Amino acid sequence: MHRYRKGQTFRPPTAAESATHADTLEAFRRRPPVSQDLAPVGQGIVVKTPEAGIDARDGTTISSAVCTRCIEVDGASSTKTLVETDEELRIYNFNTSGVAGDSFVNTALALNGTRYVEWAGGIHEGKLDANLDYDDTTGVTVSIWKGNPQEDTGDNIDNVLPLMVMTSGTLDSGSPVVIQRIDGYWRVTHAEC
């Protein structure tokens, strides 16, 4: 399937493109199953959410839905196409906003083997709820702001890790920070010195 931009004219796939697409999908279907537990932590997989989507986290209650795994197939003119497979995966949503139905989302694998929606590029401002040492591997909780330090949203993000460039020191509890999702982990990217 080729997606067309405004102004482009429809061009049906050639026989060679259709055959390549079918071969790629069949090779994926025939591959030996791979346990999610054996996949590296943070390994991304694209899935299509069901029509109802995935509900937001409600306090400590985490929602999930069975989604369809998708693979990328090379298309014409240096494009790629997402193709749904017959593999279904249970995907969890740790975030406080829901995921739309029938949408393609990237997922990552947590240390315990749980596959979850990865909010790529998610950036938040907030404050540290505990001291964060340079070598902390478990992370701390960050209280999220509404873009204004006086307005706490009431949302928290847990297990936020230190800056990757920190080689010593501690960021004090209450410090204003900017955090971003990087390779499957929330990390502090900016902080007051």
Q: How confident is the model over 143-174, as pLDDT tens digits?
A: 877 655 556 766 788 888 887 667 788 888 88
**60, 94, 117: which is the final residue of a domain?**
117
pLDDT for residue 90 is more than 90: yes
* CA atoms within 13 Å, Cβ hemisphere of 36: 19
Amino acid, single-letter form, for residue 193: C
Distances (CA, A) of 189 to 36, 110, 131: 29, 21, 16
Domain assignment present for 159: yes
- Write down which residue in 92, 117, 142 finishes a domain: 117
- Which domain range does residue 148 map to? 123-191
- Asked whether residue 88 is domain-assigned, the answer is yes
What's the average model confidence in pLDDT over 118-124? 64
In a domain, 10, yes or no: no
Q: Is 4 a member of any domain? A: no
Q: For residues 22 and 113, state if they share a domain.
A: yes
pLDDT band (50, 70, 90) for residue 75: confident
Whether residue 186 is contained in a domain is answered as yes
What's the mean per-residue pLDDT of the chain? 78
Given a cut of 60, whether residue 14 has pLDDT beyond it is yes
From 72, 92, 117, the end of a domain falls on 117
Please tell me the total count of domains within the chain: 2
- Asked whether residue 1 is domain-assigned, the answer is no
- Neighbouring CB atoms inside 10 A of 131's CB total 13
Report pTM. Answer: 0.46
62, 140: one domain: no
Over residues 57-62, mean pLDDT: 83
User: Which residues are CB-contacts of 123 (< 8 A; sequence separation ≥ 6)?
Assistant: 178, 179, 180, 181, 189
Q: Are residues 76 and 129 in the same domain?
A: no
